[in-house]
Amino acid sequence: MPRALFPTLAAAVLASLPAAAQEGEPIKIGEINHFTRMPAFAEPYRRGIEMAVEEINEAGGVLGRPLEFVFRDDQGEPGEAIKIAEELMRREGTVMITGSILSNVGLAISSLAARREFVYLASEPLADALTWGQGNAWTFRLRPSTYMQAAMLAEAAAGTDAVTYATIAPNYAYGKDAVAAFKEVLTELKPDVEFVAEQWPPLFDIDAGAEVQALERAKPDAIYNVTFGTDLAKFVREGETRGLFEDRQVYGLLSGEPEYLEPLGAEAPEGWVVTGYPWYDFEDGAGAEFVSAYEARWDETPKNGSNVGYATALSVAAAIETAGSTESAAIREAFEGLTVAVPAGEITYREIDNQATHGAWVGTTALRDGGGVMVDWTYEDGADCLPSDERVRELRPAD
C-alpha cells in the first residue's frame, strides 16, 4: 500500500534523492538482533525498519539504488552476534551493520567494527561505554544512553524531599552504567542524598521476592528501578503484593515503554516517574504522523522499538546519501555531525562521541482503560542531558 512520507522525513532525508527509477544492485545493511530472545522489542523494531525502507524505496531509494536490510537473529549471544557480523561483512555484501538491544552484545559488535573498520549503528544498546569508555570511530549510537535517561530521572528526583535511595538493576553493562549515572547526577544536584541499598539480579532471572524483601529492609525514601521485560513484570507484581511501593516514589528507566508496560495490564504501577514512549497521546507533528502510518501499515499500535527501527533506517539512508558512496570510510565520515529528521524531531550524531541527540519522553505512570500509560509527560531533548565536552573527552579514548 503506497503511503505518503511525512514532511520532516521528506525534507531531511529524501529531498535530494533521485526521482528516477532505481537502478543497480540493492545497498545491503546487516541488521543483527535478538528476534527470538526479545521479540517484544525486536519485532516492532523490525517492522519500523521495514516501513521506512518501503517508503525510501518508493521515493527512489538511496543513491538511485534500492535499500535492503538483511536481518539475522543472534539469540542475544555476543559470540553468535560476532559470527553473524563477520559473515555479513565478508560474504553478504553489506556496507554497514545495525542493531542489537542488549549492551553486552552491542559492545561485542562495536569492538569488531573497530577492528574491521566497518560502520556499526548501535540502534538500541544503551550502555555508556559504547560511546565513551569503549567508544571508537566506527560505532555510532541512535538512542539516548543510560547517562542521558538517568539524568532526566535524576533531575526529577532532585526536586523531591527524598533523601535515601535504593536501586535495583540487572547485573550487566547496561544496569551498572544506569545506576552509576543516576547516582552521579543526583548527587551533583542534591549532595545530601544517600544510597542505602543496591540490588543486582541476573538479567531475566530475577528472584523478585528476595529482591523486594532486601529493598524493604533498607527502608529507602525512594527506589530507582532499571529492570525491564519479564524482570520488570515480576518485580512490579511482587512489590505490589508486599507493599514495597506504598508511600515511596519510584523512578523507572524504560518502565514507561509499551513493550514493558502493556504486558502488565491492570497490574501496571501508578505514580512511577519513568522514561517511555506515550504514542497514544501524540496529537500532531511528525510523531503523530508516524503513529498513524504505522497503524495503517501493520494494523497494530507502535512500540518504542517501532520508533527506533524507523529512525535507524532513516539514519542509514541519510548517511549513505550524504556520503555519496557505500565505502566504509565515506559512510563513517558522513555520520559524524549528521543531522536527520526522525519521528521525535531533528537529531544530530555528535562528532565528539558519535552519540545521537535523540531524546526521551519522561512522565508518570497511570492506569487508563485497564492498562498502563504515561501521563503528564514531556519530551526531553537528548542534547540537554549530556555532560560537558571536557568531561566527554576524559571519558572517551582517543580514536
Domain positions in the chain are 7-145+282-358, 147-279+361-395
pLDDT top residue among 19 and 153: 153
| pTM assigned to the model | 0.94
Element (H, E) at 274: strand 273-276
State the pLDDT at residue 22.
53
7-145+282-358: CATH number? 3.40.50.2300
With cut-offs at 50, 70 and 90, classify the pLDDT of residue 5: very low
d(CA 155, CA 385): 10
pLDDT value of residue 24: 83
Say yes or no: do domains 7-145+282-358 and 147-279+361-395 share a fold.
yes
pLDDT tens-place string over residues 212-268: 999 999 999 999 999 999 999 999 999 999 999 999 999 999 999 999 999 999 999
pLDDT band at 398 (very low <50, low <70, confident <90, very high): confident
CATH of the structural domain 147-279+361-395, one choice from 3.40.50.1820, 3.40.50.300, 3.40.50.2300, 3.90.1150.10: 3.40.50.2300
Residue 5 is given by DSSP the state P
CA distance 137 to 257: 30
Q: Where does residue 100 fall: left (phi above 0), alpha (psi -120 to 50 degrees), or beta otherwise? A: left
Mean pLDDT of 285-311: 98
pLDDT exceeds cutoff 80 at 2: no
18-22, 250-254, 387-391: the lowest-pLDDT one: 18-22
DSSP assignment of 291-333: HHHHHHHHSS---HHHHHHHHHHHHHHHHHHHHTS--HHHHHH
Which residues, 6+ apart, have CB-to-CB distance to 301 below 8 Å? Answer: 258, 279, 280, 291, 294, 295
Number of C-beta neighbours around residue 140 at 10 A: 30
Residue 14 has pLDDT above 90, yes or no: no
pLDDT, average across residues 369-374: 97
pLDDT of 6 strictly over 70: no
Query: Which pLDDT band holds residue 20 (cuts at 50, 70, 90)?
Result: very low
